[in-house]
Amino acid sequence: MVHQEPIGLVAGAGLLPRHFALKAKKSGIPLYLFAIKGSTHLKLSILAEKTCWASAGQVGSLISFFKKNKVRKIAFHGKVQHGSFFRDVRLDWKGLTLWSRAKDKSGRGLLNTLGNNLKSEGLYVLDGRFLMGELLVQKGCLTRTRPSNKVSQIIKRGIHQARGLARLGIGQTLIFKDGAVAAVEAMEGTDEAITRAGKWAGKGTILIKTASTDQDWRFDVPTIGLSTLQKLCRVKSAGIVVEAGKTFLLEKEKTLRLADSEKIFILAV
């Protein structure tokens, strides 16, 4: 019997870590879990050989845990709010050193600094799409509700603007209303941006989520799912636009069922 090389998982909040862990188990890959306190689901450790619970800023503990268990390849999945690093994340000596050295403290900048350091420690960060291909959306309109010709023209302009901002590292999500930008996602996350757009622009907004031309797929794959759609329902949004082959869709059946019932379109371009 061929023994699979172990893989490490750094898990934040949400459904992606569990999906990855289940796929690893099905593939016979031993999984070692670095679980983030206050984010990772408590039951996720059932799917792992060993688990280390720590703060997101305990980089030294992360490196030590994986090296001790002879793990050379690791994956990052799940949400860790960028803003928390400016408020209440506990940093160990290694984390503090990386924080002080990072000239760019955007989410992308911090993760790039982390990735480079892990590489120097002999730890390879996997592409976030590894084992997760079935979650990637295919091109086309996924719902019975479709955007009108007028809305389609707004979407074309919106995609161009969204890609421009993503390329600059400002945010991968823009929310539009009649061609005007209602909200730009920053460190508050997609859900808060949706709420803000609904407050100021009212119903009929369109969420556009894109990847950057230099997207770091190790740490960030654009993702939508049931929770995203539920937020859009609350503000009576008109639809979602994502990029085919570059976006994860979680809880697909439930998400599409709700979208159809609320007449919200989901379009992959």
Residue type at 113 in one-letter notation: T
Q: What's the pLDDT band for 82 if we cut at 50, 70, 90?
A: very low
pTM, full prediction: 0.89
pLDDT tens figures, 126-164: 999 999 999 999 999 999 999 999 999 989 999 988 888
Residue boundaries of the structural domains of the chain:
7-125, 136-268
Q: Are 201 and 227 in contact (CB under 8 A)?
A: no
pLDDT of residue 88: 52
Q: What architecture does CATH give domain 136-268?
A: 3-Layer(aba) Sandwich (3.40)
* Per-residue tokens: 194: 């949706």
Distance CA 143, CA 259 (A): 7
pLDDT averaged over the chain? 90
Q: What is the pLDDT of residues 198-211, one digit of tens each?
A: 999 999 999 999 98
Q: At what angle do helices 59-68 and 93-101 cross, to 10 degrees?
A: 120
CATH number of 7-125: 3.40.50.20
- Residue 81's pLDDT band, with cuts at 50, 70 and 90, is low
